[in-house]
Amino acid sequence: MKNNNGWINLNEKIILVTGGSSGIGARISQMLHRNNAVVVICDLNEADNWRDYASLFIKADITSPDAVNKLVAEVISRYGKIDCLVNNAGVNRPRLMYDFYGKNSTYQATEADFDFIVAVNQKAPFLCTQAVLPAMIKQNSGTIINVSSEAGTEGSAGQSIYSATKGALNSFTRSWAKEYGRFNIRVVGIAPGINKRTNMNSDENYKALAYTRGKQFDHIDDDYTGVIPLGRAGEHHEIADLICYLASDHASYISGTTINISGGKSR
């Protein structure tokens, strides 16, 4: 259902959300749609219900330059412009740099783990952003939103590759804002902390993370009161609300920064 009377009105902005078929990306897409955006999602997988919250689904592997160029060309040919790109797709494989427990070498990072995580979390936002910039520069307007993670600034034991890609994304945010501000293009990041589970927090990833931290695989529904000042995991709609705000003209002077959305969790 669309919300025509709310404070945020995205006024038919054309917004491309990568990884919009599941988890946080799906919720972001739903909320953008509800606030009058025209949402295009791209993903490796097609969600059964994408028509409920998006105008177009394009199947694409965004680690491939050809696929990304085709994806953006299709959006431009259909709508004539692109107002906002949400670089949301991301992956994780919790791994130790060195398996000092010596009990399961599967959880020691390999070059393949590194390449996989860097390709989706760092290279794909580079490719997607480069592909939308010509249209945004021509329009003299646009917003790029990078979905980072609190781990990008805090670091994370057992997730160093993931953290490093998110730190790189934070740097992209700052640098791109400096390069493209002159074209009225805003670049912002958001950094969620611990949230309600998604596919990224699969049992396999929880098992891997538990191993890297010398814990049993039994902490999924932990009591977070000691870690998160607000005492609970984040809800996906809370992240989606922030994205709606950042994509809207209400955020017209916010650029070059990554906003933590973590219930106060930080060191």
Ligand X SMILES: NC(=O)c1ccc[n+]([C@@H]2O[C@H](COP(=O)([O-])OP(=O)(O)OC[C@H]3O[C@@H](n4cnc5c(N)ncnc54)[C@H](O)[C@@H]3O)[C@@H](O)[C@H]2O)c1
* Of 122, 149, 255, 258, the one binding ligand X by CB under 6 A: 149
173 binds ligand X (CB under 6 A): no
What distances in angstroms separate CA 132 from CA 20, 94, 147, 159, 233, one per listed residue?
17, 31, 17, 30, 33
* Of 32, 58, 89, 185, the one binding ligand X by CB under 6 A: 89
Q: Give residues 45-74 in contact with ligand X (rule: CB under 6 A).
A: 45, 60-63
Task: Indicate the residue among 36 and 131 with the shorter CB distance to ligand X.
Answer: 131
Shortest distance in whole angstroms from residue 204 CB to ligand X: 12
| Half-sphere exposure for 95 (CA within 13 Å, toward CB) | 20
Which of 47, 51, 77, 58 lies closest to 17 in space, CA to CA? 58
Binding range to ligand X, per CB under 6 A, among 31-39, 85-93, 134-142, 170-178: 85-93
Binding range to ligand X, per CB under 6 A, among 48-56, 73-81, 101-109, 197-205: 197-205
Question: Would you say how long the chain is, in residues?
Answer: 267
Burial label for 188, CB within 10 Å (0-12, 13-18, 19+), is buried
Distance, in Å, from the CA atom of 88 to the CA atom of 80, rounded to the nearest integer, reads 23
227 binds ligand X (CB under 6 A): no
> In the sheet that 14-18 helps form, which strands lie side by side, from edge to edge?
56-59, 38-43, 14-18, 84-87, 142-147, 185-192, 257-261
Name the residue with tokens 């950094």.
Answer: 191
* Of 40, 96, 147, 177, the one binding ligand X by CB under 6 A: 147
- Beta partners for residue 42, in sequence order: 18, 58
Size of the site for ligand X (CB under 6 A): 27
Shortest distance in whole angstroms from residue 239 CB to ligand X: 8
Binding range to ligand X, per CB under 6 A, among 42-50, 153-161, 170-178, 206-214: 42-50
125 binds ligand X (CB under 6 A): no
Which of 122, 145, 136 lies closest to 255 in space, CA to CA? 145
Shortest distance in whole angstroms from residue 4 CB to ligand X: 28
Task: Indicate the residue among 195 and 248 with the shorter CB distance to ligand X.
Answer: 195
Which of 89, 90, 84 lies closest to 40 in space, CA to CA? 84
Q: Quick check: 257 and 153 in contact, CB under 8 A? A: no
Q: Which residues are catalytic?
A: 162
Task: Indicate the residue among 35 and 156 with the shorter CB distance to ligand X.
Answer: 156
* Of 14, 37, 68, 91, the one binding ligand X by CB under 6 A: 91
198 binds ligand X (CB under 6 A): yes
Task: Indicate the residue among 9 and 131 with the shorter CB distance to ligand X.
Answer: 131
Site string for ligand X, 234-263 (x = CB under 6 A): ------------------------------
Distance, in Å, from the CA atom of 247 to the CA atom of 28, rounded to the nearest integer, reads 11
Q: Quick check: 142 and 132 in contact, CB under 8 A? A: yes
By the criterion CB under 6 A, which residues form the site for ligand X?
Answer: 18-19, 21-25, 43-45, 60-63, 88-91, 120, 147, 149, 192, 195, 198-201
